Amino acid sequence: MKNLFSLFAKNQSLIYKVFLFIVSTLLIIYFLPKGGQFKYNFQKGKPWQYENLYAPFSFTIKKNEDTLKKEREEIRANAIPYFEYDSEVEASVIENFNNNLEVKYIDSLFKTPEKTVERLANVFISDVYKNGVTDEIHNYDNDRLIYLKKGNEIEERNYSQLFKKENLNKKVRELVEKNKVEDVQVLLYNILNEVFEPNVKLNSKLTEASIDAEIKALNPNRGIIEKGGRIIAKGEVVEGDKFQILESLKAEFQSQIWSKNNYLWLLVGYSLLVSLVFLMLFLFLKNYRPYIYNNNTKVTFIFFNIFLMVFLTTLVLKVHSDYVYVVPICILPLILKAFFDPRVGLFVHVLTILLLGFIVPNSFEYMFLQFIAGIVTILTVSELYKRANLFISVGQITLIYILGYFAFFVIQEGNIQTLQWENFGYFILCGLATLFAHPLIYFYEKIFGLVSDVSLLELSDTNSKLLKELSNKAPGTFHHSLNVANLAEASANEIGANSMLVRVGALYHDIGKMLNPTMFTENQANSINSHNELDPKESAQIIIDHVIKGIEIARKNNLPDRVIDFIRTHHGTSLVYYFYKKEREQQGSANKEDFIYPGPIPFSKETAILMMADSVEAASKSLKEPSSTIIDEFVEKIINNQMAQGQFLNANITFKEIEMIKKVLKKKLNNIYHLRVEYPE
């Protein structure tokens, strides 16, 4: 049991990666569509690249979406509307009319008797309300058939048979002219206009239910292809009926293959493909980015982002497949580039798009557009901490989407008459969503403890609490750090390294000297050297301890690990030569181990640059009469000595890059000392 626990403790990092691999694979498979993959790839408007295709089984030809949409629109346009008839309104209107007539009729003003007026009006009301009265306005033709629902019975009517209240004046005039009672026309109209109420209203619920029933009954098929029938010949262009027949075969194939009998085999196939994708990711990280591979938090961060993109895409597809381009996939390479480097961002982006190819419709078009957009993201987004850069890059990404989609549409349709302009709106929404990268980076920094260029910019502020403390307690060290930062930044720019990271690392690399500033020559205000009273071993230990104390201060002030790495490695495993030599002179011999920094040696271009810049800047203070030649030889000597000690063996830096850094350091030091090239007399 003890041995098992010990084995687990030694391999816990590997065990966690295996667990992450299995969980991620299962989650991705869960989101993959439950259907088999059609073995032929085809595009509308492109020639059929395979041999003649014959129907492997009988299947129905599906109508395309445009045809179905048109048929649904026709059903809706021709649907017979239902109107609700209220039989109680008529009696109420007659009663109200009679009551009003009794009040408003004055014998001396009218020739026509009151009873005659009442009789004519009651007959008129009954006749009008028989077919129904409405005050609603509809865009129906007069001969449009409608259903009038009276209780449980439904009668057919023409829409023109419904009486509209707006026609009341005309009908009253016809009534009085027919019965020759013109003297009561105004009285009749005023009272009828006052008491008339609609007794017919459109029953929207029943009408919609009827339309929905017809749409559901719509036949999605338009024919049958018998088994063995030729579908398409080699070289034929996939368009029109051919395209729709192939789409129907693809849909039928996918629905048939995903059966209970094949379920296990399909899972095996999906598992292998998804596993291969994640295996490639692990191999890439292990071989080319070991600092990420060995950090489980960073590996988890990458897997989380892949899963997030797959989850969001699946979620959007469930709402509507047209919205698939709204998902800001380009946030993935953008964020990974901000935290790691462009190659990691592009590699993970490509693998994620391969996974999404199983999920999205028109996978070739989707993958092509996303690949191009991802490459543009990697190539254009630089210095993310500058807000304008993100806006410019988002504009370029959106333009690439629009141009790519337009090109595919023209190839497939051969014209732009049916171009769906709303898709351009989706691309614009995708671009706007990509702007969410900045707040997302902030959340990731807090959740996963990572650091981006945006945070580095904040840390480079010399008015920050820690750097202020350094400038107050150890002004010489602070000035030295600023000089080193300038040298290191210029060197990083020359070889394409992360200049912001190396500048921040340089600013904080010597913060350990704050605890005992006078023990370091740059902070000694007079000629009195405290080391003269100490044993060389003690002096060496004080010098070496500034690295350990610097790490402690950095952790106490929550500096990111990427910055602490510069504190740990800026002296590597070099020798405190001055006190080692002094010990040998005093004692006759010295133990090298007592005078060597604990390391580790630099493991990146940035940490290697800092070691060179720090050593050169510190040692340059000892030059009494610096000249251009002396500085050149001096830089060569220091850096060559570091190379001879193997300080750059773990750093991903080439000899060519080291030579470029030497040139930058020589040029900068010459500028600092205001030197010119010495000309022969």
Q: Do the domain assignments include residue 372?
A: yes
pLDDT at res. 364: 84
Instruction: Assess if residue 120 is contained within a domain.
Output: yes
Task: Tell which of 397, 427, 444 closes a domain.
Answer: 444
Burial 269-291, CB ≥16 within 10 A → b, else e: ebeebbbebbeebbebbeeebee
Give the rounded distance of the alpha carbon of 394 from its chain centre. Answer: 11
Asked if residue 618 and residue 662 are part of one domain, the reply reads yes
* Single pTM value for the model: 0.62
> Do residues 184 and 54 lie in contact, with contact meaning Cβ atoms separated by under 8 Å?
no
Using one digit for the tens of pLDDT, what is the confidence trace for 619-654?
888 777 778 888 888 899 999 999 999 999 988 899
Return the pLDDT at 676: 47
Looking at the structure, do residues 231 and 331 belong to the same domain, yes or no?
no
Alpha carbon 188 to its chain centroid, in Å, reads 71
pLDDT digits (tens, 9 = 90+) for 447-470: 888 888 778 888 888 888 999 999
467: phi > 0 → left, psi -120 to 50 → alpha, else beta; which? alpha
Question: Could you tell me if 425 and 475 lie in one domain?
Answer: no
* Torsion region of 574: left, alpha or beta (phi above 0 gives left; psi -120 to 50 gives alpha): beta
Residue 47 is assigned to a structural domain of this protein: yes
- Residue 69 placed within a domain: no
**Whether 188 and 159 share a structural domain:** yes
Q: Return the CATH number at 537.
A: 1.10.3210
With respect to residue 678, please indicate whether it lies within any of the assigned structural domains: no
The predicted-structure confidence for 547-587, as pLDDT tens digits, reads as follows 999 999 999 998 888 899 999 999 999 888 777 788 777 77
Structure-model confidence comparison of residues 257 and 469, the more confident one? 469
Q: Please state whether 184 falls in left (phi above 0), alpha (psi between -120 and 50) or beta.
A: alpha
The yes-or-no verdict on residue 260 having pLDDT over 80 is: no
Residues 482 and 617 in one domain: yes
As a whole-number percent, the residues of the chain with pLDDT over 70 amount to 92
* Whole-angstrom distance, CA of residue 309 vs CA of residue 328: 8
Task: Tell the burial category of 522 from Cβ atoms under 10 Å away from its Cβ (0-12, 13-18, 19+).
Answer: middle
Domain endpoint, select from 414, 444, 474? 444
CA atoms of 3 and 305, how far apart (whole Å): 36
Q: How confident is the model at residue 4 (pLDDT cuts 50, 70, 90)?
A: low
What is the end-to-end Cα distance of the chain in Å, rounded? 83
Count of domains for the chain: 4
What is Dmax (Cα atoms) for the chain?
148
Are 305 and 269 found together in one domain?
Answer: yes
**In a shared domain, residues 253 and 279:** no
Residue 647's nearest CA partner among 681, 610, 672 is 610
Closest C-alpha among 479, 521, 484, 524 to residue 617: 484
Same domain, 160 and 235: no
Residue whose C-alpha is closest to residue 275's, from 15, 37, 25? 25
Domain check: are 122 and 206 in the same one? Answer: yes
In a domain, 205, yes or no: yes
In whole numbers, what is the pLDDT of the chain averaged over residues? 84
Domain that holds residue 479: 453-672
Given a contact cutoff of 8 angstroms between Cβ atoms, the answer to whether 574 and 642 are in contact is: yes
Radius of gyration of the chain (CA): 42
Residue 411 above 60 pLDDT? yes
Q: How far apart are CA 581 and CA 566, in angstroms?
A: 27
Q: Is 479's pLDDT higher than 80? A: yes
183 plus 120 within the same structural domain:
yes
Q: What is the mean pLDDT of residues 483-504?
A: 92
568 lies in the same domain as 630: yes
Residue 70 domain-assigned (yes or no) = no
Residues 232 and 173 in one domain: no
